[in-house]
Amino acid sequence: MTKPIEVRNPRTGKYDYVIIPPPPKLLAQQCNRIRRAQVSWQQIGIEGRIEALQQWKQVILSGREQLTEALINDTGRLSISILEIDSFLSSIDRWCGLAPQLLQEFAKNTAIPFIALQQTSVPYPLVAVISPWNFPLLLSTMDTIPALLAGCAVIVKPSEIAPRFVAPLMTALNTVPKLRDVLTFVEGAGQTGAALIENVDLVCFTGSVETGRRVAEAAAKNFIPAFLELGGKDPAIVLESANLELATSAILWGSVVNTGQSCLSIERIYVAESIFEKFYHQLVAKASRLQLAYPTIESGEIGPIIAENQAAIINEHLQDAASKGAVIHCGGKVEELGGGWWCRPTVLTEVDHSMEVMTEETFGPIMPVMPFSTVEEAVHLANDSIYGLSAAVFAKSEELALEVAQQIDAGAISINDAALTAIMHEGEKNAFKFSGMGGSGMGATALKRFMRKKSFLIKTNSIKDPWWFNHQE
């Protein structure tokens, strides 16, 4: 029998919510049920699938307050929770607009001598989405919406650290029978995710490199595709000609939004020597003005650290840096306030790549700043990482910034801004190195990941015998 899992509130530190993972046998039955329903879901066509998703969206809108409250309890933050819901709802409209044309492009007919070639694509019957805790709603639905529109059934396992948002989603889902039959959410931890992979045809995972590796190995064992969006240690390069007012504001936002709890956060900053002092002084001044969202959720911009074990990692990185000579200019520690864990925006200098804060994913509002003497050195430092998710380059000339960006081993690089890939969904990208495997779930062609190509080769009436008849020795 599976044990209940108590869920911690990130603002209060209290364990005030309980989830009960399904036993493996029950999970397998759920998978079989929605796999059977997928046949009808595929047959109703794209217009029927769009109608069902739009109905779900309207019900969610009518109960938006409950979803907002659940997300706030999951994450301890207000403005980002509101933004997350807005982004989720707009993604339904966006994919409903894109899907008909994309699906139409998959069907092709070609005539070659003696053979008519018809090509189509069919959806993978059952897709698993295993998502993390930092943007629990958005990242659990990022792959779910296009997969559903492709004609797949989907089963989602969100993080056990932030599962409260599932209840209002399921309440809304239960009012749309066609969609309810092919979409469900299951609650549980790693064991539930592992059991899920044993029962599906394709898996999308967003999370850590360590867990992503296990997901990839399990998927390979079962001969199913795995799309992995993993960790990042995103660099920013600030060239001598950069607009410092712009660069410091953009990098600050890219580093501390959602308390730095994003794989797309700027986590290391390389600045030309000639402007290094001026840059970090400006960054410190701006960072110091930001306040914690405590004691009330409206008190400031910086929310709590959602996962308790992440607070320990942030603290470890800061202590390691300080012990090796780093200078902390603001922030610099993880605090316990009201039972929650908090970290003020932190700027460090005198850092190097011997420190964990420059090489390991910190996932907090931490900004280590390091000078460089040549562009070649900056590129080398940016690429000196096992990660390659995204990056940023700042320069007066877009041409120069692009020239540098082209040398960085990362899938999405913002020019004169930071973390643009979080709000710009049109660009296709691939993660480099250990930051992931497979294409991005954001661009328009992401829907293709959920389709398998199929060809029909038809002998025409223009030839009587099989094509090989006259070619026998």
- Catalytic residues, by residue number, are 229, 263
360 DSSP β-pair partners: none
How far apart CA 440 and CA 432 sit, in angstroms, is 11
Helices 190-197 and 24-43, axial angle in degrees (round to 10): 50
235 DSSP β-pair partners: 268
DSSP track, 323-355: HTT-EEEE--SEEEETTEEEE--EEEES--TTS
Measured in whole angstroms, the distance separating CA 214 from the mean position of its chain's CA atoms is 18
What does the block give as tokens for 70? 């659940």
Find tokens 């699938």 and name the residue: 49
* Single-letter amino acid, residue 101: Q
Element (H, E) at 403: helix 398-405
* Residue among 49, 68, 51, 208 nearest 137 (CA): 68
Helices 45-62 and 64-75, axial angle in degrees (round to 10): 80
* Residue among 125, 111, 192, 114 nearest 158 (CA): 192
